[in-house]
Each structure stands twice: as structure tokens, then as C-alpha cells.
Amino acid sequence: MADSSQSKAADRRTFLKIGAGVVAGAAIATAVEIPYYSSVIGGNSSSSSSSVSSLQSQLSSTQEQLSSTAAQLNAAQGQVTSLNNQLSSTAAQLTSANSQLSGVNSQLTSTQQALTSANGQVSTLSGQISTLNGQVTSLSTQVSSLNSAVTGANSQVATLQTQVASLSGNADALVTLGVQEAAVVAAMAETIIPNDSNGPGANEAGVIYFIDRQLNGDYGNNGRMYNPGPFIMPNTTGPITVNDMTGEPVTYPGGTPPLAWATGTEYQYGMSLRNFWRYGILALETYANTAYGGNFETLSAANQLTALQDLFNNKPTTFNSIIPSDFANEVFFMTWAGFLMDPMYGGNRGMVGWTLTASPGLNKELMVATTPTILKPVSLSQFQQQFGVKGVLGGT
């Protein structure tokens, strides 16, 4: 019995050693030792075998948990490494961003300083603009006042000029043309130079009074013109023989010699220019009534223009022994002469013709100017009044 007790005691010590080794996770708990343990303890105790199996199962579970924990630890360490890398990158980005922010703050400070300076300049300029606006307003008021004064002065001058003309016998009055004749001539002149958007026309320039005075003077009486003839009427057929200026005969086999327009040589009539105008006016009235149903001065502007074009084209077949184009050319020439000649001759009143054509008249400033300048025109009478007749004639 003693031996059996000692054997069992020895077996228990062996079991405890094996159990302690298993609990501690020692290497002795291997597949080899377990059979040995089984052979030693045999079937002595089914309870012990059950305990060992339980411990083995716990050991196996613990090892699995340990392996899983180790895997999780490795994964966590990988994540920590990745996070450390990200942290390092983020720290570098943060450093760069801080540097950029510092630069932006510096630029913002500079911009704010520039803006402050610009605001100061704007305030100064605004003050200057307000001052200038005040000056402009004041000057505009002065200009308006001066314009009113000039308008009043011009009105007074016009009134005085009318009074002077009346007192000197130069008031508007016809000295040659009859009232009916003057109406026709005025209508022809206005058709040639109308009052439109370009400026005043023949009527505003007093062209009718210029023509009327010219017909009453040398022009109307053929002054300084060669009148004895022979007169070669236009459109004459057959050979024509006339004496030249030396008295030698000259023959034109083809009829009328060629004439240059507006040279005066086309006027080949055995009548004074006063009668030439009288017959021409009567012939025009007859043609206007026949072709357009009324006197020339009563026609519409369009029909008046067409009627004058008919004269230039020699459309009328009868014209009181006058070539229609000769009369039209004379009217055209005298209309422009009255519109552009010095006002002392009765036309170009108010120098409207010179103003429209930018002619300076006798403006002394322009005569001595070295560069092109457009100045207000000055008439002959104004020039004489300003500088005196002696100055005009070269006297002292």
C-alpha cells in the first residue's frame, strides 16, 4: 500500500509539473508529452483527464487569441506607421500653408496701405472736382449772361443798321425790277441757292436787291461791253462771216463758233441786259404756265427746279427770241455773284455767303497770318471804317 501511495504521490507531482508547464505556456506541453502523460496516469483518474483536456482546449483558445491579438497588433502598428507618415506629411503641408499665409498677410498689409493712400488721393481729387464743377457752373452762368448780352447787342445792331439804311436811302427798295419781275427773280435765285440745313439761301443774302441794283447800273445798260455787232445768235446755221477785232473778216463755215460757258462771249444779243432780263422773265412765266400750270413763283419747289432745268436744256421752243440756256446761265451767274460779292453791292447781307463758304472777306488778321485760319469775315465798308480810307489806299 505504501508503494501504491508513493506511486500516486509521484504521479500527482508529475501531473502538477505538467499542469504548471501547460499553464505557463512552456514548451513541454507538446504532442509528445501528452501521450506520455496519458500513459503515466493511465486510467487512474478520469477526472484528471477531463481537466487536462479542458486546459488543452483553453490553451489552444488562448494561443488562437494570442495569434489574433498579434495579427491585430501588427495591423495596428501598420496603421500607426501610416498615421505617422500622414502626420508628417500634414505637418509639412501645415508648415507650407503657414508660410503662404504669412506671405498673404504681408501682401494684404501692403494692399491695405495702398488702398488707404488711394482713398486719400480720391478724396483730394473729389475735392478738386467739386471746386472745378463750381467754377464751371459759375462760368456757364457768365457765358449764358454774355450770350444774352450778345443777342441783345445783335438785335440793337440790326435795328440800328435798318435805321441807318433808311436814313441814308439804302433801305430795301426796288429801283429797276417791277414787283412781279422781282417775285420771279427771287424765286429763281432761291431755287439755285435755297435756305436749308447747310445755311441761309439767296433770299437771306438779299440777292434780289443785288440784281436789281446791277440792272439799274452799268451791267443793265451794257456798260463797257462791245455792242455794235454783228451779233451771231446761237444755233445759227450756214457759213457766217464777221470781222475780228482788227477788222479782218473771219468766216465760220459751220455756223455759230464754239463758245466757252460763263465767259460772257455767249451773249450775242442786240439789246441791253435790262431788256434781256425783262424778256427772259416774261418768257419764263409763259413757259411755266404752259408746262406746269402756273406762274413760276407760285410753283412747288420741285417744279421750279424742274423748270430751271428745262431752261438749261433748251426745252422751251419759244422764248422771246432768247436762247433759254443763255437766260438760265445769266440768272445762275448773277445769283452767285449776289450771294458772294462784297455787301456794299447790295447782296451777301450779313456776309452770310462768306460765312457759308468760310471766306474771310478783307480780314486783316488773316492777310498777315502764317497758318491757315478761319476768321469772321469783314466787308469793304467795315475795313475802311476800321483802318480809314487813307490806310486802304496806302496813304499815311
pTM above 0.85, yes or no: no
- The answer to whether the CB of 336 falls within 8 A of the CB of 190 is no
Among residues 305, 74, 344, which one has the least CA distance to residue 194? 305
Write out the H or E segment, with its range, that includes residue 250. strand 249-252
**What pLDDT score was predicted for residue 391?**
43
Q: Where are the domains of the chain?
A: 2-125, 170-393
DSSP for 313-330 reads: TT--S-STTS-HHHHHHH
At 394 the pLDDT is: 45
Give residue 352's identity as a one-letter amino acid code: V
The neighbour count for residue 310, using CB atoms within 10 Å, is 19
> 3-state DSSP call for residue 266?
coil
pLDDT of residue 70: 84
pLDDT in tens, the chain (396 residues): 445 555 555 555 555 555 555 445 544 444 444 454 455 445 555 666 788 888 888 898 888 888 888 888 888 888 888 888 888 888 888 888 888 888 888 888 887 888 888 888 888 888 888 888 888 777 777 767 766 665 555 555 555 555 445 444 555 789 999 999 999 999 999 999 999 998 999 999 999 999 999 999 999 998 887 766 666 665 666 677 777 667 788 776 665 555 545 445 556 787 899 999 999 999 999 999 999 999 999 999 999 999 999 999 999 998 988 999 999 999 999 999 999 999 999 999 999 999 888 787 777 666 666 776 666 787 888 777 766 554 444 444
